[in-house]
Structure 1
Amino acid sequence: MNTTIKHKLELLPDSPGCYIHKDKNGTIIYVGKAKNLKNRVRSYFHGSHDTKTELLVSEIEDFEFIVTGSDTEALLLEINLIQENKPKYNIKLKDDKSYPYIKITDELYPRLLITRQIKKKDGIYFGPYPDSRAATEIKRLLDRLFPFKKCTNPANKVCFYYHLGQCNAHTICQTDKAYWKGLTEDVKHFLNGKDNKIVNQLKDKMTKASEIMEFERAAEYRDLIQAIGLLRTKQRIMNQDLMDRDIFGYYVEKGWICVQVFFVRQGKLIQRDVNTFPYYNEAEEDFLTYIGQFYRDSQHFLPKEIFIPQDIDQELVSALVSAKVIKPQRGEKKQLVNLATKNARVSLQQKFDLLEKDIKKTHGAVENLGDLLNIPKPSRIEAFDNSNIQGTSPVSAMVVFVDGKPSKKDYRKFKIKTVVGPDDYASMREVIYRRYSRVLKDGLTPPDLIIIDGGQGQVKVARDVIVNKLGLDIPIAGLQKNDKHQTHELLFGDPLEVVELPRNSEEFFLLHRIQDEVHRFAITFHRQLRSKNSFSSKLDSIAGLGPKRKQALMKHFKNLNNIQNAAIDDIINCGIPRNIAESIKENLMTRDEN
């Protein structure tokens, strides 16, 4: 688990929503929904999983989330995101067929149908639903509540459903277009959560049935009321008009603004765009500037409609874009703008929380380390480590951390010049003297703290050079590793003592990062030098093979084994004359036989 994911996990909300896992290339590899984003997303990175989930988790390098108003909204949004992005891990679990909708047909006597195909001007659609079972259960409830056509009888012949009060598609019912239009509106309101009218009617019928002791009929009304209670959610993720539109919301705090754009295509919320930046004018002015720049970028499709928050000047936005600009006042469209605004607030708060953690991890850790060692805040820390194998190609390396963060432009590499054999103390003495005599000579900025990756002996050597030979007053600490090569003890003081360092503190993690970084830098330099020396030593004796030709060989073949196994023509292709190429092959084969 990388640091970004670790910090984001701590900041997840307890809200329902969708989460989006991405790989190292930023590609969406999985989309999921959750009743509680915090609990669900954290579960991927804690505990054991089956092989399939472990494979998914191993590829996750980052994640995003979208907060929704309910679990059902999260489910519908998940479907839309999967259909749009086709993440590879979702495709294994969900087939790529279209999802079911409930349709009211555009006929003289309208019908309620379940369909997977949407055709414009062919009826009114509700959904999508997660599977056919969910759609069937809702349609069954609608069939019991609304008397749409359910039979194949001619209009002048009543059917069984007519006697149950569930089919009014007969001439005896004396219905007209206004009746069916009103019935359709009732269904739309009902599926959008505005079901009080239906529930009150059912309660009245239940009461009357009970009064005349028709208890079975009363129980049926009661069951219908309970079934409606299970569907009391506003399905804002799908619009019935199949319109393409962008939904804008924004939130400002502490001099920053976050703008969220929801992309609705064919009525479905399929994607979002998030941008967070500081604002220097009025927030509304910078929001207008953002919209103007947003659609000048050719990658952003201009939809037919744009929804904006209430406090934004509609006429100014209309002057910036050629689409229809709407400030929704109520209902489902207003709720979509509110949802975008809510997500903007969550994203901005997450940014502040991550920033606060970063400050605590860096600046806070540096301050705590200074307090722990009873020295001024060590804003600049320089750390040293040696590397050699039985004294061969000995090197040392220095890394620099400024305010808790690596300053790689200040890193330095040292080839050991005066030491023969494996002598870490002498190597450290040489490097410390070379570094800080240069600091004195050139007037460079001295560090606030020197850290030696080593034990008491190396720290004492470094202190002797700094204090006695160079006359500098720079605090020096040592970091010892345990038998598992992990950061174990911090040495400091005169005489040296072990400093108690809480293992869960930010200052411990800072020292751990410094020790790992200086060791990595030193060992990488040593390997490069050893590889170069090994390569050069076997080729130095070949006449006509100078530095440039050796460099060309190294760049192309990478190592001696590849050169040894290469054909002579391949070596010639690197710009090597044939007679020298033959000498190289002969030399390497002879050495191999020896």
Structure 2
Amino acid sequence: MQTPLELQIQTLPDGPGVYQYYDKDGKILYVGKAKNLKKRVASYFNKIHDTGKTNVLVRKINTIKHIVVPTETDALLLENNLIKTLQPRYNVLLKDDKTYPWICIKKEPFSRVFTTRNMIKDGSEYFGPYTSFKTVHTLVDLIKELYPLRTCNYDLNKPNIDSGKYKVCLEYHIGNCKGPCEGYQPLAEYQDNIDAIREILKGNFKESLKDFRKLMTTLASEMRFEEAQKIKDKIEVLENYQSRSTIVNPRITNVDVFSIVSDESVGYINFLQISHGSIIRSHTMEIKKKLEETDLELLELAIVELRERFKLLSREIIVPFEVDLGEGLKVTVPQLGDKKQLLDLSIRNAKFYRIEQLKQLQIVDPDRHTKRIMAQMQKDLRLSVEPRHIECFDNSNIQGTNPVAACVVFKDGKPSKKDYRHFNIKTVEGPNDFASMEEVVYRRYKRLLEEEQPLPQLIIIDGGKGQLSSALKSLDELGLRGKIAIIGIAKRLEELFYPGDSVPLYLDKKSETLKIIQQLRNEAHRFGITFHRDKRSKSALQTSVESIPGIGEKTMIVLLKHFKSVKRMAAATEKEIAEVVGLSKAKKITEFYNSPK
């Protein structure tokens, strides 16, 4: 029997994220990042560590929580935020926000653009944080080269400029600044440059890239190839660069994000708390449905509960659809931008939590897991009963030879291999899939009726409308039409066809129902192909056996096992064959293959 901790590790996702260890009292012990959450967390428990401190940590771990993120960089940033917020005992304490650099657009006339490690809440705009110093320097250099900006810290308000208080410096004379301090550059022109820089830092490079390419072309036309190459290199860096993290955005402050993922019986609500532009808490709760509650009802209930539980005071929430929680609370349903990315991240965490819970359920309570899947299949496929017993048919023939068919059986969503059946096609001449399907379906259920064996709740035909119609003819003859549900699955687009309905059903590509149907179809194909291959081999063997006088089937099987093929056996010398089956039989075989045909 697996422990709760082993179950948590086994069901962790394989993607990047942040993990958190808690002791038996619910106290945070450690926060870490991982490229692969499952492998990283498992590594703590499958070896004795070099340091005693780590071994003590592992012994204290009682609960593991995790947050999934899109990239390793996001995991690095989120780990940094959580360590500062939660201050776990076994982490290095990060005492300030100087770990990563930001790029700041200063709120002032003729805004400066510079790098900083300190965020000052004076209305300035901050972009980042960045984990690569090379990226920061590349961006700043690009900005300075494309848009001449001032680097001085003068107070360039209009009265100061008009009074002639300041004089241009060396930066103006070498072309790095256009001299706004003496009024040589209008504020509107300078602000246009700042707007373009803002778009670059947001990741919108379209217009700026046009300017870069234009500059590169101009430099090349002027035979300034070294400078043009430098611009080209920077364009490539810019094109391949993701400008900001989805985890931290200083412009989104004190906001809570809620999302929901649900199935027939349970709703999973994820909550992200955003404070000062950083995720400081993630939590997913599970609510069991009692009366087929809607996602709206469950989400509203969960938001009220979570806000009370965590004493949340934010005045804005981000949700996937409109909710009614009274006045005084701003409800945002984002469609684009940073808030939409945060919502998508919350939904992703809810989905991973659901998958994790379902895996644990499958291990701990397989009967409940099976019942849930059967109920979902009944709903998805519009059946009157749960498909506890499913049979799937597939035809196999290659170039019209040795036509066969296969029937595979699934019970409670799992293969029942003892019930698999092969069929040799008896009444059909040549490669006719429709007639072959009609024959095997008739033979299968005629026999089940005669032997009073239980019939399936669902029949799946591997093929489109033609094969489905052929199978229906057999059910009509046997009086089973309407007593057993039957569908056809077309290979190319995974279309499900129903009798009498010209419009196919398309299931969600990630649904468990479609995955089970695909597993049935693939198993029927594998089983049929194996039988077809064996039949062709046996047919070839039979031809060889019958052709050589005095050589029986057992001898031929021994020879084929040794030589691997009839061709190799025919090319072998009498001595080589005699070493396997004796001199007398070797003479008969070599005489047969060496005699004129």
TM-score range, shorter chain: 0.5 to 0.7
> Relative to 1, partners in 2 of residues 1:186 and 1:95: Cα closer, same or farther, differing over 3 Å?
same
Corresponding residue of 1:113:
114
1:277 aligns with 2:287: yes
Q: Which amino acid aligns with 2:44?
A: Y
TM-score in terms of structure 1 length? 0.54
Partner Cα distance (2:210, 2:224) in 1: 19
Partner Cα distance (2:340, 2:70) in 1: 13
1:348 aligns with 2:348: no
Contact 2:112 2:150 in 1 (8 A): yes
Contact 1:147 1:168 in 2 (8 A): no
Corresponding residue of 1:88:
89
Partner Cα distance (1:145, 1:237) in 2: 29
Partner Cα distance (1:277, 1:326) in 2: 23
Partner Cα distance (1:119, 1:261) in 2: 28
> Relative to 1, partners in 2 of residues 1:145 and 1:23: Cα closer, same or farther, differing over 3 Å?
farther
The Cα shift of 1:11 comes to 2.4
1:294 aligns with 2:306: yes
Contact 2:73 2:131 in 1 (8 A): no
Figure out how many residues of one structure are paired with residues of the other and give that number.
356
SS of equivalent residue, structure 1 residue 293: helix
Contact 1:192 1:235 in 2 (8 A): no
Partner Cα distance (2:366, 2:69) in 1: 31
The Cα shift of 1:265 comes to 0.9
1:159 aligns with 2:159: no
Contact 1:11 1:353 in 2 (8 A): yes
Deviations 1:100-131 (A, max 9, x none): 43222122222223334333234112233458
Q: Quick one: percent identity of the two aligned structures?
A: 29
Corresponding residue of 1:218:
228
The Cα shift of 1:340 comes to 0.7
SS of equivalent residue, structure 1 residue 303: coil
Contact 1:158 1:170 in 2 (8 A): no
The Cα shift of 1:230 comes to 5.3
> Relative to 1, partners in 2 of residues 1:179 and 1:60: Cα closer, same or farther, differing over 3 Å?
farther
Contact 1:247 1:262 in 2 (8 A): yes
Corresponding residue of 1:487:
none
Note the 1:339-418 alignment, pairs <5 A.
Answer: 339-360=345-366
SS of equivalent residue, structure 2 residue 247: coil
Corresponding residue of 2:409:
none
Contact 2:34 2:75 in 1 (8 A): yes
The Cα shift of 1:136 comes to 5.5
> Relative to 1, partners in 2 of residues 1:302 and 1:47: Cα closer, same or farther, differing over 3 Å?
same
Quote the RMSD (CA, aligned, Å).
Answer: 3.3
Partner Cα distance (1:136, 1:214) in 2: 24
Contact 1:263 1:272 in 2 (8 A): yes
Note the 1:50-449 alignment, pairs <5 A.
Answer: 50-51=50-51, 52-91=53-92, 94=94, 96=96, 98-99=98-99, 100-130=101-131, 139-151=140-152, 156-160=167-171, 163=174, 165=176, 169=180, 171=182, 173-176=184-187, 178-229=188-239, 231-241=241-251, 243-279=253-289, 280-295=292-307, 297=308, 299-309=310-320, 312-314=321-323, 316-317=324-325, 319=326, 322-360=328-366
> Relative to 1, partners in 2 of residues 1:294 and 1:22: Cα closer, same or farther, differing over 3 Å?
closer
Contact 2:130 2:244 in 1 (8 A): no
SS of equivalent residue, structure 2 residue 365: helix
The Cα shift of 1:363 comes to 11
The Cα shift of 1:283 comes to 1.9
SS of equivalent residue, structure 2 residue 125: strand
Partner Cα distance (1:356, 1:136) in 2: 51
> Relative to 1, partners in 2 of residues 1:175 and 1:357: Cα closer, same or farther, differing over 3 Å?
farther
SS of equivalent residue, structure 1 residue 121: coil
Deviations 1:188-221 (A, max 9, x none): 4323322233333323322332343312111211
Partner Cα distance (1:130, 1:86) in 2: 21
> Relative to 1, partners in 2 of residues 1:82 and 1:133: Cα closer, same or farther, differing over 3 Å?
farther
The Cα shift of 1:145 comes to 4.8
Corresponding residue of 1:33:
33
Partner Cα distance (1:307, 1:254) in 2: 25
Partner Cα distance (2:280, 2:316) in 1: 16
SS of equivalent residue, structure 1 residue 72: helix
Partner Cα distance (1:45, 1:229) in 2: 42
Contact 1:13 1:37 in 2 (8 A): yes
The Cα shift of 1:291 comes to 2.2
Partner Cα distance (1:228, 1:258) in 2: 39
Corresponding residue of 1:5:
5
The Cα shift of 1:20 comes to 1.5
